Chains A and B, each alone.
Chain A
Amino acid sequence: MTQRSPVVSDAALRQGRVVYYEEHMAQVDRVLAEFLRRSGARSAYLIDKDGHLITKAGEAGDFHPDTISALVAGAFAATKEMARLLGEREFSALFHQGERDNIQLSLVGNRAILTVLFDDSTTLGMVRLYVSEAVSRLAGIFERAAAQPGREGAAQIDPSYGDSVQRTLDNLFK
């Protein structure tokens, strides 16, 4: 355990935040919608590696999307660490098979996990076929977005945000 390498690069972590803008998310949503239509999967969740939901498409389950996101990110993180111990760089996909429902998790670039829920109305083969296509398109969107220069005039957080925080917290836990 002593000579282990950092789990994530310094640079990535020092960055401290990840920002998603509308124009890119609209492209992402289109890719997901098309993926669902062609693959016959029930729903797709694009999840940040930190466990935050980025966007979702398809049937809404009764479950809380934040909870599924946290669990998926946990499962993927554990797998990644396992891969490292086995000498793999990373497992880029995981498949969980249930009696009726299945879950396919695929890494998108370095940052996100595409989570697909599907049942026996389609097949793993179909899902995989279209997942790999969707993944490369999503990765393309992320790469192009990341390559864009600083964005003046882009969406900003309102300057009153900081002041409102305290009030919100006080109201919440009276």
Chain B
Amino acid sequence: MVQINFARKEINCKLVYYGPGLSGKTTNLEMVHQRTPEQNKGELTSISTDGDRTLFFDFMPLDLGEIAGMKTKFHLYTVPGQVYYNSTRKLVLLGADGIIFVADSSRAKLAENLESLDNLRENLAEMGKDLSKFPLVLQWNKRDVADAMPVTELNERLNAFEAPSFEAVASRGEGVIQTLKELSARVLARISSTEQAGLAAPPVEERPAAVEPVEKPHAREAAVQAQVAPPPVGGFQIERNEVQSEPRRREPEPRTLPLPAQSRVASNPLEEMGVAACAGPSAAAASGQASLVAAPAQVATLERPRAAQARPAARAEARAPAHCHGVPPPAESYRREVRVISGRRHGAPMRTDSDRSLVVGLIFGVAVAAAAVFAYTRFFG
């Protein structure tokens, strides 16, 4: 959701790279990072597995500077492409204002591309959004591979909405900036056109506003109609319709969150994530507290001068050390507790095994995210 902050004179938008596993989403972001002038970017933060696969997301703030008096910023995210990570993928997708779908041009990957596109449509639908009306740009990546499908065929198979599309070889930085510029222009044009349209109006479905493409997309006129949605401008537009039905509770005793047994030892979902899980300190485990030890995943922050080509090295530095088996935790490790200080339990929790493993997966996700937050403040704070 676009944030317009008149107090800080800022406009913030969230753009998300989507697509199947290994299609080159992270590579795109690394290249954008590399090509963005110093003063316009923050660090690139990656929450990834040991094998450099995205686990939760990659993130980079991109500062466009002042546009008509408003400091305009993009928050660029990549989702984890692997099918297994759909629950975290959805979290990253939440609140997105525009999507770059990175497809792998290889013919062998056609089925995966289709599956990922379907998954995107479903996930958006679950959030009440319609992919056909969502600001979307497609990228045909890996044009350099031997079995690359012709662009016309890719368009036929994957581009039902006639969204703008660009060829790219992300690993060489080709096509990366054009793709991003196109989506940026689309998302921002929407902001100003809807703002100009004036006063408060009921919420309407997302519609892309017409905008001249930065570069003519391949063999394709920008086929987006000039449908400018009247804006929900005016007022402090904060989910007015979502009434808080539950009364605020008084703060009860701090409660600890009981964990399913698997979470205290390496369990399948964790192993599937390709990372080492480790047991919490036995004292904490005995007391039943949700206590996980340090980040099994990497939280890598590429610093400015390094950027993309330094990827393996930079990530290796941040690799989580092996402290599982009695090795004393290093300085940056710490314990986390997930404490519920408010909130009543209702309904029978966790009925099935699959529910349970999902919970374990999510607890793990939370731990990783918490580790990320922490590592970040500790390293830089």
Is the beta-carbon distance between A168 and B92 smaller than 8 angstroms? no
- Report the minimum CB–CB distance from A26 to chain B (whole Å): 7
Is the beta-carbon distance between B177 and A173 smaller than 8 angstroms? yes
- Report the minimum CB–CB distance from A155 to chain B (whole Å): 4
**Given A21-B7, A85-B358, A172-B64, A16-B206 contact (CB < 8 Å):** yes
Number of residues in A with C-beta < 8 Å to the partner? 98
Quick one: CB contact mask for B231-274 with A, threshold 8 Å, 1 for yes?
Answer: 11111111111101010100100000100000000000000000
Closest A residue by C-beta to B65:
A168
Is the beta-carbon distance between A19 and B127 smaller than 8 angstroms? no
**Given A95-B341, A161-B191, A165-B67, A18-B1 contact (CB < 8 Å):** yes
A49, A66, A117: which has the most chain B beta carbons within 10 Å? A66
B64, B72, B177, B237: which has the most chain A beta carbons within 10 Å? B237
Bound CA–CA A50/B96 (angstroms) = 8
Is the beta-carbon distance between A20 and B241 smaller than 8 angstroms? no
| B237 neighbours in A (Cβ, 8 Å) | 15, 17-19, 146
B192 close to A (CB within 8 Å): yes
Is the beta-carbon distance between A22 and B7 smaller than 8 angstroms? yes
| B372 neighbours in A (Cβ, 8 Å) | 71, 74-75
Interface size class of B (residues with CB under 8 A): 35 or more
| B196 neighbours in A (Cβ, 8 Å) | 157, 159, 162
Bound CA–CA A77/B233 (angstroms) = 26
B142 close to A (CB within 8 Å): no
Bound CA–CA A41/B195 (angstroms) = 38
B17 close to A (CB within 8 Å): no
| A158 neighbours in B (Cβ, 8 Å) | 68-70
Closest A residue by C-beta to B359:
A85
| A150 neighbours in B (Cβ, 8 Å) | 199-200, 233-235
Other 14 A-B pairs with CB < 8 A, given A14-B128, A14-B129, A15-B203 = A12-B242, A16-B1, A16-B231, A19-B237, A70-B61, A72-B373, A81-B91, A82-B366, A146-B238, A150-B200, A157-B191, A168-B64, A172-B37, A173-B180
The 8 closest A-B pairs by CB, nearest first: A25-B7, A145-B236, A150-B200, A50-B95, A10-B128, A75-B369, A11-B241, A162-B192
